[in-house]
Amino acid sequence: MGFKVNPNIKVVTRNDLCFCGSGKIYNECHKHIDKRLLEYRRRGYLVPGRKILKSKTDIEGIKESAKINISVLDYVADNIREGMSTEDINRLVHEKTLEMGGIPAPLNYEGFPKSVCTSVNAQVCHGIPSKTCILKEGDIINVDCSTIYNGYFSDSSRMFCIGNVSDENRRLVEVAKKAVYVGLEQVKPWNFLGDMGQAINDFVKSNGYSVVEEIGGHGIGLAFHEEPFVSYVTKKGTDMLMVPGMIFTIEPMVNMGRANVFMDDNNGWTVYTEDKLPSAQWELQVLVTEDGHEIISY
3 state SS for 65-107: HHHHHHHHHHHHHHHCCCCCEHHHHHHHHHHHHHHCCCEECCC
Task: Report which secondary-structure segment, H or E, holds 271.
Answer: strand 271-273
pTM here is 0.90
- How high is the pLDDT of residue 9? 44
Q: Please give the CATH superfamily to which domain 50-297 belongs.
A: Creatinase/methionine aminopeptidase superfamily (3.90.230.10)
The domain ranges of the chain are 50-297
**Residues of the chain predicted below pLDDT 50:** 1-9
pLDDT at 91: 98
Burial class (CB in 10 A: 0-12, 13-18, 19+), 177: middle
pLDDT confidence of residue 13: 65
SS3 at position 39: helix
Answer whether 250's CB lies under 8 Å from 217's CB.
yes
CA distance linking residue 69 with residue 296, whole number of Å? 10
CB within 8 Å of 107: residues ≥ 6 apart: 94, 113, 114, 115
CA–CA gap between residue 224 and residue 210 (Å, rounded): 27
pLDDT of residue 30: 74
Helices and strands in the chain, H and E counts: 5, 15
What pLDDT, on the 0 to 100 scale, is given for residue 5?
33
Q: What is the pLDDT of residue 32?
A: 83
- Residue 17 to residue 25: CA distance in whole angstroms: 4
List 253's β-bridge partners, or say none: 281
Q: Are 120 and 141 in contact (CB under 8 A)?
A: yes
Q: Tell me, what's the pLDDT at 4?
A: 33
Cβ-based neighbours of 251, under 8 Å, separated by 6 or more: 157, 180, 216, 217, 230, 281, 282, 283, 284
Q: How far is CA 109 from CA 65, 114, 126, 289, in A?
A: 18, 9, 12, 30
pLDDT at 116: 98
Euclidean distance between CA atoms 91 and 76, whole angstroms: 10
